[in-house]
Amino acid sequence: MKILRDLFKDYRFTFAFAVLVVILILALLSFFSPYDPTLWHVVPRDLKPSTDHILGTDSNGQDVFWQATFAVRNSLIISLISGLVSRVIAILVGMIAGYKGGTVDRVLMFISDSLLVIPLFLIMVMLAMMVRAHMNLIVLGLMLSVFGWAWDARLIRSVVLSLREREFTKTAMLSGTGTIELVLKEYTPFTMPLIFSTLINNMSWAIGLEMTLAILGLVNLNIPTLGTMLNWAIAYHAILLERWWWILTPVILSLFMFIALYWLSVSISEYLDPRTRIQRVGE
């Protein structure tokens, strides 16, 4: 509890926490939606916000507010799949490369370097075009996770490299601890903060990339996400026709989401890194 109290002293953490709670509530509200998000023309079209439809309705005849709850939920699902699966890859690659060293390290780091250099956005576009017919939340999440681990694996590797030189590694090895047990039991606590902050960053990246792919029409447009909502709004010229309630809903929701996720990651990693914590207290 003391940790939480300390964290809430950072205005960024407080803000991020509040926004993410609201986002989560929105996502959960989708389960109580009176409308099916895949059906069109369930409400009158293009209504301004009113007491019946608090965020108005769109040109597909859908309620913007309830559509947004599904969009938030689905965007979160994609980013969670991407974040968690790519964490598994990043941890495995980073720990094996850092601990084994030698040829294994060089090969693994070469793969991750290649992924960093290649313009991933274009590769994603190619892949998405090819699997467009089979595209859904899970396929998209997995696609993002296959490409989103390279930088984080490098970070984890550098931590493991420094841990390997520490005294306790030798003690553990001499007392007969197996490699896997050593890495899992002894190294995980040191890498946990890093894994957590990269998880949040990866989630934010996944939401952003999903939106970009959706604007290009490369995802299944019948599944509401923040990206597909924006795509429909642009396709129906919501900007020119001044249907601001429609275009601004996904824009502002995603804006808050990106800032909140980033601030959460920054405030927690600053808190966990004692050097910056001292700097802040010293101010």
Partner 1 sequence: MHEGKTMTFVKRYLIPRLIQYVLVIWVGITVVFFIPRLTPNDPVMRMVDQMRARGSTLEPGSMDGIINDLTVMYGLEGSWTNQYVTFWGKLIHGDLGVSFFQFPAPVTDLISTALPWTLGLLLTTTAISWIFGNIIGGIAGYYTRSNWSRTLDAVAMVIRPLPYYIFAFMLLLLFAYHWRWFPVTGGASLGALPQFTWPYIQDVLRHSFLPGLSLAVLGMAVNFQIMKLLVQNVNAEDYVQYARLGGVTDTRIVSKYVIRNALLPQITGLALSFGQLFSGALITEIVYGYPGVGMLLYRAIINGDYNLIMGITILSIFGITTAMLIVDLAYPLLDPRVRYT
Q: Which is nearer to partner 1, 114 or 188 (CB)?
A: 114
Q: Which is nearer to partner 1, 183 or 268 (CB)?
A: 268
Q: From the CB of 118, what's the least distance to partner 1, in Å? A: 4
- Binding of partner 1 at residue 258 (CB under 8 A)? yes
- Binding of partner 1 at residue 281 (CB under 8 A)? no
Q: Which of 8, 40, 110, 168 binds partner 1 (CB under 8 A)?
A: 110
Q: From the CB of 240, what's the least distance to partner 1, in Å? A: 8
Q: Which is nearer to partner 1, 42 or 216 (CB)?
A: 216
For partner 1, the binding residues in 215-244 under the rule CB under 8 A are: 215-218, 239
- Binding of partner 1 at residue 208 (CB under 8 A)? yes
Contact region with partner 1 (CB under 8 A), list: 21-29, 75-83, 155-163, 255-263: 255-263
Contact region with partner 1 (CB under 8 A), list: 29-37, 56-64, 66-74, 119-127: 119-127
Contact region with partner 1 (CB under 8 A), list: 36-44, 45-53, 111-119, 188-196: 111-119
Tell me the one-letter amino acid at 174: L
Q: Report which of 160, 154, 149, 188 is spatially closest to residue 100, judged by C-alpha positions.
A: 160
Q: Which is nearer to partner 1, 71 or 209 (CB)?
A: 209
- Binding of partner 1 at residue 132 (CB under 8 A)? yes
- Write phi, then psi, for 183 (nearest 5 degrees): -65, -45
Q: What is the dihedral of CA 121, 127, 130, 131, to 10 degrees?
A: -110
Residue 64 class from Cβ within 10 Å (0-12 exposed, 13-18 middle, 19+ buried)? buried
Q: Which is nearer to partner 1, 127 or 140 (CB)?
A: 127
Q: Report which of 58, 47, 40 is spatially closest to residue 222, judged by C-alpha positions.
A: 40
- Binding of partner 1 at residue 184 (CB under 8 A)? no
Q: From the CB of 18, what's the least distance to partner 1, in Å? A: 16
Q: Which of 142, 262, 272, 273 binds partner 1 (CB under 8 A)?
A: 262
Q: Report which of 214, 92, 93 is spatially closest to residue 144, judged by C-alpha positions.
A: 214
Residues binding partner 1 (CB under 8 A):
12, 110-111, 113-114, 116-123, 125-127, 129-134, 204-205, 208-209, 211-212, 215-218, 239, 247, 251, 254-255, 258-259, 261-263, 266, 279, 283
